[in-house]
Chain A
Amino acid sequence: MAQIIACYQQSKHNFMRSSQISIRRILLPLAILTTTTVANAQQTTVVDSALLQRVAALEQQVADQKPGESHLMIVGLTTFGFVNSKTTFKPGDGTSVVSKTNSLGDADRYELSPMFLWRHGTKWLIEFEPSFDGNTLGVNWANISYFAAPGLTVRAGYFVLPFGIYNKRLAAGWIDKVAPDPVGIDLPGSDFGVGISGGFPLGSMKWSYDVSLTNGLQLLPDGELQGSGITDNNNNKTVSGRFALLPLSNSSLEIGVSGLYGGVADAGSSYNNANTTMLGADLSFVKNLNPLLINIKGQYSVIKVNSQNYVESSGNTLYSFDNKSTSAFAQLSVRPVSAENKLLKNLELAFRYVNYTTPAQSLWGQNYHEEDIGLDYWLSWRTVLKFTYAVSHSLSTENIPAGGTGGTTDMNNMYLQFSIQF
């Protein structure tokens, strides 16, 4: 009996001990788990609180921000280079005169133009581009646009007139395929006024319009036209516009027609209701024909001023001429964009032909043509190094009795130009 009792007590003791060990084994991890969970919970609460405070601060910043404050961006471009020029002037009755020049900062090939784009929400946009061309600090455009409806943008201010494609889209150095601008393509330039523009689908095609009402051009004493700039020279206004059709669904082909009409005489001048009519046509074709990207551009313009009498340089005699000018350029560039060789795929070969004819028997009459060949290397999509060789020939058709000069002028220009957009 005593043995049974002793055995029972021993078993009880063992059981109790075993139970205590088991409880410890369970409770210890439980305690650790509980402690960790509580700590984590406290940490999460702290993080959430900090996050909420941060979100609240950001919300306040957003609420304090006025539309437009963060929507000012500055882009722009710069173009600089070197031009080596040889000019051979041959008078009608004399010997040739040859002159050679070279320049790093030529006015026609240097440009620094920051562009300020400032949008207010998604309806208003201000575009302002001051420009330093090596001689003067001017303004290319400074206008405000209101995006009134799909396909209707209203703008006002100083802007590039809608005529042709070169001045508005292709003139920037980082876009242009050869170094110089086509001669005679600068008119009508920029002017003060109002305008509307937009683009619409038309089945698988699309079309666009760009129309403006501006102060207009100015007729100079020798019959040339120039942009009126800041000062309006008369009470007439000028209407100009361009309509374009993109007949292919992939937008590769664009055909545009342009027109301009307006008075050009200075107020109170002796000109007889002087006005100008400009007509133009342009074409753009860009197509990736693997492995080449083919890019064709062209523009033809006719500028006509109605019949006027002009004063000779002596100031005593009147003379007249058919004041009609034509300017044209045709351009082809090819780039092997799909080539595997990196050096090759960044090269672009460009050709351009320019023809510019100004009125015979004027003081600025000439038949001019120019051929350009260029090799460009694209360092990035907006950075280019260009080498262009240009040959031009000009035959003077000036009115010699009125003070003009005859003869021919031949030029050979070699350009090395760098252009970047940023």
Chain B
Amino acid sequence: MKTSSIKKITWVIIAGTGLLLAGILNGCVESQKVAAKSGVQLWAENCQRCHNTPSPNSFSHDQWITIGMHMQTRAQLTEKEKEKIVAFLTQ
């Protein structure tokens, strides 16, 4: 690998890590309006960004937990969004 390529990759990684750390530090900054959202509201808002909203009885309790993780990797849901949506779908 050429030195210039290594430098470019290094800078990109550093920049990405910096953004990530900034994000983590900002992670707790959440407005009261967003914090007060219910699972059903987040379900209605987020699922339809890509596909139709599924009904809670489409999958079992255990399956919804798995799907919540899968959706986190696909759509980068925040941790609280995932928890509230899965809680609504499994109640």
Taking beta carbons and an 8 Å cutoff, which residues of A are in contact with B? 70-71, 73, 75, 117, 119, 122, 125, 127, 145, 147, 149-153, 155, 168-170, 174-175, 196-204, 206-211, 213, 235-237, 239, 241, 243-244, 249-252, 254, 261, 263, 273, 275, 284, 286, 288, 293, 378, 381-382
Contacts and interface: CB of A to CB of B under 8 A. Distances in A.
Contact of A251 (B1, B8, B49, B73): B49
Contacts of B23: 151, 198, 200, 207, 209
Contact of A236 (B5, B54, B67): B5
Contacts of A70: 62
A235 B74 CA distance: 29
A200 B80 contact: no
Contacts of A196: 20
Interface string B66-91: 11011011111111110000000000
Nearest to A195: B73
Interface of B: 1-2, 5, 8-9, 12-13, 16, 19-20, 23-24, 26-27, 29-31, 33-34, 45-46, 48-55, 58-59, 62-63, 65-67, 69-70, 72-81
Nearest to B51: A175
B31 A125 contact: no
A244 B77 CA distance: 12
Contacts of A145: 69, 73
Contact of B34 (A122, A155, A201): A201
B66 to A, nearest CB: 5
B5 to A, nearest CB: 6
B30 A203 contact: yes
A258 B54 CA distance: 29
A250 to B, nearest CB: 5
B5 A210 contact: no
Given A251-B49, A284-B49, A378-B52, A199 B33 contact: no
A409 to B, nearest CB: 33
DSSP class of A's interface residues: helix, strand, loop or mixed?
strand
Contacts of B1: 235-237, 263
Given A147-B69, A147-B72, A251-B45, A202 B52 contact: no
Given A122-B65, A202-B26, A203-B29, A150 B79 contact: yes
A8 to B, nearest CB: 80
A200 B26 contact: yes
A203 B66 contact: no
B52 A203 contact: no
Nearest to A235: B1
6 A-B pairs with the lowest CB-CB distances in the bound complex, closest first: A208-B76, A150-B79, A199-B76, A381-B52, A201-B30, A204-B31
Given A196-B20, A199-B81, A249-B33, A382 B73 contact: no
15 contacts: A71-B65, A127-B70, A149-B24, A150-B27, A150-B78, A175-B51, A203-B34, A206-B78, A210-B76, A241-B16, A249-B34, A250-B45, A286-B48, A381-B54, A381-B58
B49 A237 contact: no
Contacts of A236: 1, 5
B2 A273 contact: yes
B63 A239 contact: no
A117 B33 contact: no
Contact of B76 (A71, A197, A261): A197
A70 B55 CA distance: 22
Given A197-B76, A251-B49, A382-B51, A122 B69 contact: yes
Given A119-B66, A169-B50, 13 more contacts: A71-B66, A122-B69, A127-B70, A145-B69, A149-B24, A168-B74, A199-B78, A201-B80, A209-B19, A236-B5, A239-B9, A251-B45, A261-B8
